[in-house]
Amino acid sequence: MNQQRFGHVALLGRPNVGKSTLLNALVGEHLAIVTHKPQTTRHRILGVLTEARGQVAFVDTPGLHRRRDHALNRRLNRIAAETRDGVDLLVVVIDATRQTDEDSLALEQARSFDGPVILAFNKIDLLKDRAGLLALTQQFTARDEFAAVVYLSAEKSQGLEDLLEEVFRILPEGEAQYPEDLFTDRSERFLVAELVREQLMLQLHQEIPYGLTVVIERFERQPRRLEIQALILVAEDRHKGMVIGRQGQVLKRVGSRARQAAAELLGMPVHLELHVKTRAGWVDDEGSLDELGYAR
């Protein structure tokens, strides 16, 4: 391959603008979990795209938000803000159908970034009248300067090539730094834990997913399948029964769907066992956040 350009590109924006869906669409793998609930993304996730024009290391980030009531909230904002350090390009993602005052948090980060910034309007497929995009673009570009403006539907994989053309135009010349067949630097253990958490967020009520996390306790590769045991930690005792469900139905449904997703992603059969335990107040404990893998 003639890899002409290389660089790291951070995807920045408030919760639920579609950054993780965009990362998955660009890389072509179910790498970052996606739900309709805020703060689904809790980690800095690298997704690598390698093609004839070069290699791009996209970095998905937690959504920037104004909540400060828990240590986890504050740490997620810090992870997102610090991701801009060391990248070559920022892509600020805006939901074209709905803007909020939290969008300004991403724009503030972009203003203090010493490098080019692309403005990406996502979810344009949901607009009834796209004529308003011109006024929306003028509204944002009147306040800030961008290297390019693109219009996307990450869900429908529309406009991805427009974004990539701008990315490769802007990135510096350089050789690939990751193996051609690598699509993330995250471990299989991490990816399976995230798939379990994704199903929990999809199956449970709004208040519960925020106070839970998933830890892989056993991950063994057998000749014909992967043997995995995962521990679901909840912050309150009352949530434990909700996660398990009546006669264990919720936990069974989560396990079945997460197992199928893991087998598809990893390319081999998976045996998955789930257990639930309470760790009171982990979302407010800095030591627990360190132990559970939430980067400082």
pLDDT at residue 41 greater than cutoff 90? no
Domain ranges, ordered by start, for the chain: 5-170, 188-291
List, for residues 179-212, the tens digit of each pLDDT value.
998 999 899 999 999 999 999 999 987 667 778 9
Q: What is the pLDDT of residue 56?
A: 97
Q: What is the fold of 5-170?
A: Rossmann fold (3.40.50)
Query: Which of 25-39, 63-77, 263-277 has the highest mean predicted lDDT (pLDDT)?
Result: 263-277
Radius of gyration for the alpha carbons in the chain, expressed in angstroms and rounded: 20
- ∠266-42-45 over CA atoms, to 5°? 50
How far from 187 is each of 79, 215, 231, CA to CA, in Å?
A: 19, 13, 17
* Runs of H (alpha helix) within 204-296: 207-210, 237-244, 249-266, 286-291
* Runs of H (alpha helix) within 95-248: 103-111, 132-141, 160-170, 188-203, 207-210, 237-244
Whether domain 188-291 has CATH 3.30.300.20: the reply is yes
- ∠205-106-29 over CA atoms, to 5°? 60
pLDDT at residue 132 greater than cutoff 70? yes
Q: What is the pLDDT of residue 3?
A: 52
User: Looking at per-residue confidence, does 41 or 296 come out higher?
Assistant: 41
Q: What is the pLDDT of residue 24?
A: 94
pLDDT at residue 1 greater than cutoff 50? no
Mean pLDDT of the chain: 91
The pair of three-digit structure tokens given for residue 259, joined into one six-digit string: 């197992």
CB 11 within 8 A of CB 22: yes
List, for residues 57-103, the tens digit of each pLDDT value.
999 988 887 766 678 888 888 877 777 788 999 999 999 999 999 99
pLDDT at residue 139 greater than cutoff 80? yes
Tokens 């529309």 found at: 158
Tokens 């203003």 found at: 111
Beta strands in the chain (DSSP E): 5-12, 45-51, 54-60, 89-95, 117-122, 148-151, 212-221, 226-234, 270-278
Tell me the pairing of strands 45-51 and 54-60: antiparallel
Mean pLDDT of 37-45: 81
List, for residues 98-119, the tens digit of each pLDDT value.
999 999 999 999 999 999 999 9
Residues 149 and 153: their CA atoms lie apart, in Å, by: 14
Amino acid at position 203, single letter: Q
Q: What is the pLDDT of residue 2?
A: 52
List, for residues 210-248, the tens digit of each pLDDT value.
789 999 999 999 999 999 999 999 999 989 999 999 999
Q: What is the pLDDT of residue 206?
A: 66
Lowest mean per-residue pLDDT among 38-42, 138-142, 209-213: 38-42
Mean pLDDT of 280-291: 88
Residue-wise burial string across 32-66, b where 16 or more C-beta atoms lie within 10 A, e elsewhere:
bbbbeebbbbbbbbbbbbbeebbbbbbbbbbbbbe
Region of 134 please: left (phi>0), alpha (psi -120 to 50) or beta: alpha
